[in-house]
Amino acid sequence: MKGLVTVGAVLILWAAMLTAGPIEVYLSGGPSAAALDEINAIKDRINAIITLLNDTIALLPEITGEVEELDSIGSGMIAYQAGERFWLSDRFALGGKLEGFRTSTSTAGTYVSTVDSEVSIDLNCYAVGFLLSGRYDFLNAGVILSAELGAGYYYSGFNRAITFQIPPEYPDAISGLPPEGEGRYSGSTLGFEGGLSLSFPITDWLAVGSSLFYRSLTLGGMRDRQGDSLDLDGDGTPEKVDLGGITVQFTFSLIIDLNPEREKE
């Protein structure tokens, strides 16, 4: 897969040199979201245990303390992109871009009794991808409306650090506690992205714009260095990490004309 990405990048550069069309260099950033359905389902079960502990301990005079619930993971992200487009005609461009984003959720607290019982949960996930994409301008009326499709190779990591101690005075047995410990897991796969863009040319060499993309990206069987799979709930079944979701980008572009004599001909 890495070889295909390299070959594709070389072909884009070769095509641009043949056509001597403009190069567009851009930076963008904006809010993004990722589904992470299986991870959020486990988060909900952990929150149910935390709520049960908090409600029961509030009635027990020999134990004090409270732990906040985990927020959803995958929402409220900021994604960043940087790339180039080589315009092969007035309407069509090929290009490549780097994309990166990160999401996390955490909570921590202590139940105090004859001993301190700590609850600390930290989950975070990140991804970096290189995509080859095509862009077509189908409307140019001062504002340029475009469609873009891309595919590329993503590398992703998932880190967990969990401590979940129950006070010895707690009267009931609790099942479904997440396995304690730390782990760093990683994986890579092919991902796809498509969407619409609006561009506002300010000068011949500067433009601003916005884009709305949908990202399709799912990693299964992420592993640590020992070869163990990501299994947050300890049920023996590895979780899939679904990073598919919507991304909104706000873009600044510089246009570099490789053939400035063209307009004079």
pLDDT along the chain (265 residues), means of 10: 52 54 93 97 96 94 95 94 93 95 97 95 97 95 94 97 94 90 96 97 94 96 93 93 97 85 50
> Counting Cβ atoms within 10 Å, is residue 69 exposed (0-12), middle (13-18) or buried (19+)?
middle
CA distance linking residue 123 with residue 70, whole number of Å = 10
Domain count for the chain, please give it: 1
Q: What is the pLDDT of residue 6?
A: 54
Task: Quickly count helices (H) and strands (E) in the chain.
Answer: 2, 10
Q: What pLDDT score does 257 carry?
A: 83
224: number of CA atoms within 13 Å, CB side?
12
pLDDT of residue 170: 92
> What pLDDT, on the 0 to 100 scale, is given for residue 260?
60
CATH number reported for the structural domain that contains residue 131 in this entry = 2.40.160.20
Report the pLDDT value the prediction gives residue 8, as an integer from 0 to 100: 54
Segments forming the whole domain that contains residue 207: 2-264
